[in-house]
Amino acid sequence: MSEHFGPKEIEYVARLARLELDDESRKYFASQLEKILEYVRKLNELDTDEVEPLSHILPLKNVWRTDEVKESLSREEDLRNSPAHKDGMFIVPKVIE
C-alpha cells in the first residue's frame, strides 16, 4: 500500500473513475485518501489472528412468508377493476401483428 498519495496517484484514480479534477479537487481528494489510509494503517495494527473471517456481520435468515394455499379472487372480482373485459376475459390492446 502506498504511503502517500501524490499527484500521479490522484490522477490515476481520477482517470479510473472517469473524473476530471481541478487543482482544488485534487488537493481535497488527496487529503481524504490520506485520512482513509491513516485509518487503514490503524486497523492493520489490530491482532486479528483469532478472528474468524465473515461474509456478513449478522446471521442471515429467510424472511419470506410460508407458502400456503389460500383462496384466490373469483373471476368477477378480478374483472371488477379492469378497464375493459368481455366474456369473462380482459380486453387488452393488440401487440402482435
Residue 1 within any structural domain of the chain: no
| Domain that residue 36 falls in | 7-44
| pLDDT, tens only, 53-69 | 888 888 888 878 888 99
Residue 35 within any structural domain of the chain: yes
Residue 39 within any structural domain of the chain: yes
19: domain CATH number?
Answer: 1.10.20
What CA–CA distance (Å, rounded) separates 37 from 2? 9
The answer to whether 29 and 21 have CB atoms below 8 angstroms apart is yes
What percent of the chain has a predicted confidence (pLDDT) above 90? 43
Residue 22 within any structural domain of the chain: yes
Residue 20 within any structural domain of the chain: yes
Average pLDDT, the chain: 88
The answer to whether 29 and 18 have CB atoms below 8 angstroms apart is no
- The DSSP symbol for 90 reads E
Those residues with Cβ within 8 angstroms of residue 1's Cβ, 6 or more apart along the chain or in another chain: 37, 40
Query: What's the structural domain count of the chain?
Result: 1
At residue 16, what is the residue type? Answer: L
